[in-house]
Amino acid sequence: MRSNRAAVRAGLSRAATLSLLAGALALGTPAAHAAGHPLRDPLAGTRPAWATAGADRGATSDGTRMSARVYLRGRDAAGLAAYAKAVSDPGSATYGRYLTARQARARFGATTAQVAAVRAWLTAAGLKVTGVTQHYVSVTGDVAAAEKAFGTQLHDFAKGARTYRAPASTASVPQELAGAVLTVTGLDDAPHRVTHDDRLPPPDTVFRNAGPFSSFYGSNTASTLPDAYGTKIPYAVKGYTGRQLRAAYGAGTRTGKGARVAITDAYASPTIAHDAATYAGRHGDAAWRTGQLHQVLPAKYTGTKDCSASGWYGEETLDVEAVHAVAPAADVTYVGAASCGDEDLLDALGKVVDHHLADIVSNSWGEVEAAQTPDLAAAYDQVFQLGAVEGIGFYFSSGDDGDEVASSGTKQVDSPANSAWVTAVGGTSLAVGKGDTYLWETGWGTEKANLSADGTSWTDFPGAFTSGAGGGTSRTVPEPFYQQGVVPDALAKANSADGNRVVPDIAAIADPNTGFLVGQTQTLPDGRKQAYGEYRIGGTSLAAPTVAAVQALAQEARGGKPIGFADPAIYARYGSKVYHDVTDDPTGSGLAVARVDFVNGYDATGGLATSVRSLGRDSSLRAVKGYDDVTGVGTPANGYVESYRR
């Protein structure tokens, strides 16, 4: 029979009380608060929404082992947010007055006394401290010790078909530590895993696109296939290259010289240097300089099976090759996370900020907002704010499932793209014509219909929704200042009368039917040999590094001074000619391309599948004139890069 934990102890042992008293004095907290029966301060968001009374399956065993992270609030959390805003706002007198990583740590980081007090409290509760970083204190121990430390009971709750541990009430800390503790993660053990957003199968084995292809939009008409929207349609492009993307987004003569771009994903491709060099050589991109591509990797990896580790290799390859194709002189640092778990990805982002590894950070991963618990959101936002005060901007893909209804059953946005402290990048279908001429873009949203058995029509035209740029209105994040007056009330107030964050902020090419050609070493079908191969890819996984690369060009135009958190500057340019104002169906007649694919993804031995892909049909989301929840303010046009000149 389990021990009685129903009454959470208001008091602590004498040793714990003394430790807290010492910590309170060191923190400058009135000692009276630590005497007698210490009050407790709740850590909002630590009880997940799915931990309901109806799902409660009873108390977790006292002896169950667990681990947790206590994130540190730092010296001045409110001041950090205020400075991050001021330094990022072109209308502020403090705009661009960034701090070094050391200055940011000295001004906003946790004090030695805070860390000591947190350690003493956790140890007194019976937890073992396993690590201390600039951002958190990690601990292990049993459930009984965790309950004592955090003032809550831990129960097992049904979540879908599984049962997971979670706090039965909001966790708390002794009031003396309220100024030191931001949040705690790990009290619930539901998986917190993100996914990468590319829209092709992970190339564990060879993936190839079948032809025919267009070399540029409209260069090869599918004259033998049925009409769509009253006309013959072109075959999908083989995959755009850097030359075409640079022309589409107004690169001019800029190369990103002097800019530093970081890419965060999970794990690391063992062939990235070879693949990136081979790809650049094949497609006319500048050769990689010695030392231009760096990797910062963890000591060991975890969760390789649950995270499908090799599937992340293609994500890294896409991101690295896309950045170099658009900004060939920028330095690129790949920061690999130990797994696809939020905490490991937070560690990767923390490395970028703690060591200021780059000024621009591309991130092509995320999860639906409903899966992002408030405790983790707080930890992410702290890292993003610290980045902002250092002049570091984070760019996140907005997702590839439109409004997420088809995949999750609920209309929602993705996270961390929903954070008010990152630039969320939406997606388009892009038409680049002969001579690298920009023709048009639509919001990315695809409907697919197959060729009939007799080859004379498309079945159920235009077919079913397959994928599209993520976007919409957050249910949890208030409307940030930079969106006010730009985002229509119909979007901002869709979930709250006060207004919430709307995603995305800006957009670029994402549709895999008008996608990017990527080159990667892949395993051949026999499983014994590997070879370099190329295939077309898309998703907002492509849009994020493309925009990050364009920002590197803009930083060069700015004289090398970092842009930092870019959203205030992006919205300050809203309505000007530096953006393509993207709308669905820009030609007014309906748009589609034809595709022929290998059924087995490799060669014709398994047969061919022919389909028509309609463009600009993104679930319930629509790209319209002005700001919209598919493409944000639009895509970079001629003049965007140079608008950052000092």
Which pLDDT tens digit goes with each residue over 365-385?
Answer: 999 999 999 999 999 999 999
159 has which bridge partners? 162
The number of helices, as runs of H, and strands, as runs of E, in the chain is 14, 30
Tell me the domain boundaries of the chain: 14-74+110-185, 212-254+345-520+539-644
Q: What's the Cα-to-Cα distance from 33 to each of 111, 149, 361, 471, rounded to whole Å? A: 20, 17, 42, 46
In degrees, rounded to 5, the angle at the alpha carbon of residue 400 between the alpha carbons of residues 398 and 405 is 100
What confidence score (pLDDT) does residue 89 get?
98
- When pLDDT is cut at 50, 70 and 90, the band that residue 523 belongs to is confident
Helices (H), 360-442: 374-390, 405-408
- In this predicted structure, the answer to whether residue 528 has a pLDDT above a threshold of 80 is no
- Given a contact cutoff of 8 angstroms between Cβ atoms, the answer to whether 350 and 105 are in contact is no
Residue 552 has pLDDT above 50, yes or no: yes
- CA–CA gap between residue 406 and residue 467 (Å, rounded): 9
Residue 36 pLDDT: 38
Longest dimension (CA), the chain: 86
- Whether the pLDDT of residue 8 is over 60: the answer is no
DSSP, collapsed to helix, strand or coil, labels residue 315 as helix
Paired strand residues for 532: 521
Task: Check residue 201 and give its pLDDT.
Answer: 55
- In the block, tokens 């408030």 appear at 374
| Alpha carbons 567 and 379: distance in angstroms, whole number | 20
Distance, CA of 64 to CA of 320 (rounded, Å): 42
State mean pLDDT over 352-357.
98
Give the model confidence (pLDDT) of 156-176 as tens digits: 999 989 999 999 999 999 999
Answer for the pair 338, 298: CB distance below 8 angstroms, yes or no.
Answer: yes
The values of phi and psi at residue 437, to 5°, are -90, 130
pLDDT tens readout for residues 30-86: 333 333 346 899 999 999 999 999 999 999 999 999 999 999 999 999 999 999 999
Sign of CA dihedral 453, 458, 459, 463: positive
Report helix, strand or coil for 161: coil
Q: Which residues of 504-514 are buried (b: 16+ CB within 10 A; e: fewer)?
A: bbbbbbbbbbb
Q: What is the CATH number of domain 212-254+345-520+539-644?
A: 3.40.50.200
Give residue 402's pLDDT.
97
Dist CA 585 CA 578 (whole Å): 21
Find the mean pLDDT for residues 430-435.
98
Segment 561-593, tens digit of pLDDT? 999 999 999 999 999 999 999 999 999 999 999
pLDDT beyond 60 at 342: yes
Determine the length of the chain.
646
Cα(321)–Cα(518) distance, integer angstroms: 7
- Give the model confidence (pLDDT) of 273-306 as tens digits: 999 999 999 999 999 999 999 999 999 999 998 9
Strands 414-415 and 365-368 come out as antiparallel
**pLDDT-based confidence at residue 193 (cuts at 50, 70, 90):** confident
Distance CA 87, CA 95 (A): 4
Interval 247-257 mean pLDDT: 98
Q: Nearest 10 degrees: CA dihedral of 551, 328, 637, 509?
A: -90
Closest alpha carbon to 207 in 467, 471, 537, 498: 537
CA distances from 421 to 81, 222, 340 (A): 10, 45, 21
385, 455 contact by CB (below 8 A): no
Tell me how far apart the alpha carbons of residues 572 and 482 are, in angstroms, rounded to a whole number: 8
